[in-house]
Amino acid sequence: MAGGAAEGRAAEFTRLYISERDRLRRLVYLMTGQTAVAEEIVHDAFLRVHDRWEDIEAPAGYLRTVVVNLCRAWRNRAALARIRTPRSRGWVDPPEVDETWQLLARLPHEQRAVLVLRYYEDLPDGEIAALLGCRPATVRTRIHRALRKVREEMTP
Amino acid sequence: MKGPLSTEHVEDRVRSTMIRRAEDMAAGDGAAWDPTDTVRPLGRRALTEHPPRSRPLAAVVAVVVVIAGAAAGLGVANHDDPSRRADTTAGGDADRPRAEGPFEGEVPRSTTPPTVPGPDSGQILGTTLATYVRTTDGAVVEVRWFPPEALELPNPPGSEDLRAGGYRANYWEGSDQQVSSLALFFEDGILRINGDEVGMREDLLAFADGVRRIPGRTEPEVTPPPGYAPG
């Protein structure tokens, strides 16, 4: 019986993995700008969920929280690391997309994160605040400041 | 020309950029995974542009692991293209593809006899999600396991049954610039490559130069999965 329960848990975890992995990778990519980091962070998050599987009531939500936290931790570490040579991409985007992407990349992590969670994930202030561990008013302030920075540099 | 833009316009640009880049990423992934190959084009290009030895943070190795069912006893077939591998052995040139070795010609064979599986050789120390393999020299190497459906990797030739019976894993570290991939198979709890028991240090670590080694970790964190621990 224990084996059956374990198999059931494994299957459940696999379903979560398959359903959430790519979405989360895109989320992390937008927050960090690096596909490798996205791969790494998402896998780390799954590892943590796996380790705590029995104790987690809402794995998908927990997973997203872990991912956001790991993005923040990564950003803190990256700030201490030497600047790496940007890699070439395998695709070409319109100039306005490239420009906006570069502007987003220059934002402080906490501002970029709120923009991703707002405009890509379409989360309300309260959920963003919960994910980032701050108040909703802080979320609104960060969004406002981030958009202002982007707008100042954006080509009409 | 720069000028004031409305908040709505900026929001639209931000939103559309994120969606576009997320789609680019997804599309790039799809295009990168040739169903007949296990090495991403990005990784191949990166080999010549950014040799991993020149970048401390880019010690990058992808290890593709297929865990055969313990009782499956299936043969092992390497499914990498050796011409796409970098020589990451000690003193090797990361820009230069491997020329000779036991795995269809690309990995240097250990000069020492295969080690007898035991507590210090190829021992699997982790779970089915993240595992640690202890090498003959006492180092612990982390290998990450993924559900097969998520990887979209082809089965090695002649091993179609593996998908149902085990897992596939893809190991990344530090970057998505995949230096090489390596198929590892566990048969009866013994780690093998092409049917040979693995002399871990030479055949895995020297080959997979960037595999993460866990300093100081000598004990398993969790119980090995049933059937996968060496007897």
Q: What is the pLDDT of residues B132-164, one digit of tens each?
A: 554 444 444 555 444 434 333 343 333 333 322
| Chain B residue with minimum CA distance to A98 | B17
pLDDT in tens, B73-82: 222 222 222 2
Query: In the predicted model, is pLDDT for residue A144 greater than 70?
Result: yes
Through-space distance between the first and last CA atoms of chain B, rounded to whole angstroms: 71
User: Which of B14, B42, B45 lies at the smallest CB-CB distance from A100?
Assistant: B14
- The reported pLDDT for the residue numbered B64 is 31
Helix or strand or coil: residue B131?
strand
Residues 6+ apart with CB under 8 A from B39: B80, B81, B84, B85, B178, B180, B181
Question: At CA B50, angle to CA B31 and CA B175, rounded to 5?
Answer: 60
In terms of pLDDT, which residue wins out, B104 or A149? A149
Query: In the predicted model, is pLDDT for residue A100 greater than 70?
Result: yes
Query: Measuring CA to CA, which residue among A128, A115, A60, A42 is closest to residue B19?
Result: A115
Q: Using the 8-state DSSP alphabet, how is residue B118 labeled?
A: B
Measured CA to CA, the distance from residue B165 to residue B207 in angstroms comes to 27
Residue A83, Cβ density class (10 Å: 0-12 exposed, 13-18 middle, ≥19 buried): exposed
- The reported pLDDT for the residue numbered A122 is 92
Question: Does A35 contact B177 at a Cβ distance shorter than 8 Å?
Answer: no
- Quickly state the pLDDT bin for A147 (edges 50, 70, 90): very high
Residue-wise burial string across B192-207, b where 16 or more C-beta atoms lie within 10 A, e elsewhere: bbbeebbbbbbbbbbb
Query: In the predicted model, is pLDDT for residue A3 greater than 90?
Result: no
Percent of the residues in chain B that have a pLDDT greater than 70, as a whole number: 10
- The reported pLDDT for the residue numbered B104 is 27
Mean pLDDT of A34-50: 77
In terms of pLDDT, which residue wins out, A9 or B187? A9
Question: Does A156 contact B26 at a Cβ distance shorter than 8 Å?
Answer: no
Q: CA of A134 to nearest chain B CA: how many angstroms apart?
A: 22
Mean pLDDT of A81-89: 41
- The reported pLDDT for the residue numbered B12 is 92
**What's the pTM?**
0.51
Query: In the predicted model, is pLDDT for residue A96 greater than 90?
Result: no
- The reported pLDDT for the residue numbered A48 is 78
- Quickly state the pLDDT bin for A77 (edges 50, 70, 90): low
- Quickly state the pLDDT bin for A131 (edges 50, 70, 90): very high
* Contacting residues of A for B41, CB less than 8 Å apart: 90
Q: CA of A82 to nearest chain B CA: how many angstroms apart?
A: 9
- The reported pLDDT for the residue numbered B25 is 80
User: Which of A36, A116, A120 lies at the smallest CB-CB distance from B175?
Assistant: A36
Residue-wise burial string across B68-86, b where 16 or more C-beta atoms lie within 10 A, e elsewhere: bbbebebebbbbbbbebbb
- The reported pLDDT for the residue numbered A111 is 94
Query: In the predicted model, is pLDDT for residue B193 greater than 60?
Result: no
CB B191 within 8 A of CB B84: no
- The reported pLDDT for the residue numbered B128 is 37
User: Which of B3, B20, B58 lies at the smallest CB-CB distance from A156?
Assistant: B3
Question: At CA B53, angle to CA B52 and CA B54, rounded to 5?
Answer: 90
Tokens representing A141 are: 């302030």
In terms of pLDDT, which residue wins out, A104 or B207? A104
- The reported pLDDT for the residue numbered B196 is 45
- Quickly state the pLDDT bin for A93 (edges 50, 70, 90): confident
CB A33 within 8 A of CB A105: yes
Please report the residues numbered 39 through 98 in chain B whose beta carbons come closer than 8 angstroms to any beta carbon of chain A. Answer: 41-42, 45-46, 49-50, 55, 57-58, 60
* Contacting residues of A for B144, CB less than 8 Å apart: 43
E-assigned strand segments in chain B: 64-66, 123-124, 130-134, 140-144, 168-170, 183-187, 190-193, 196-197
Window from A67-71, A106-110, B85-89, B179-183 with minimum mean pLDDT: B85-89
- The reported pLDDT for the residue numbered A15 is 79
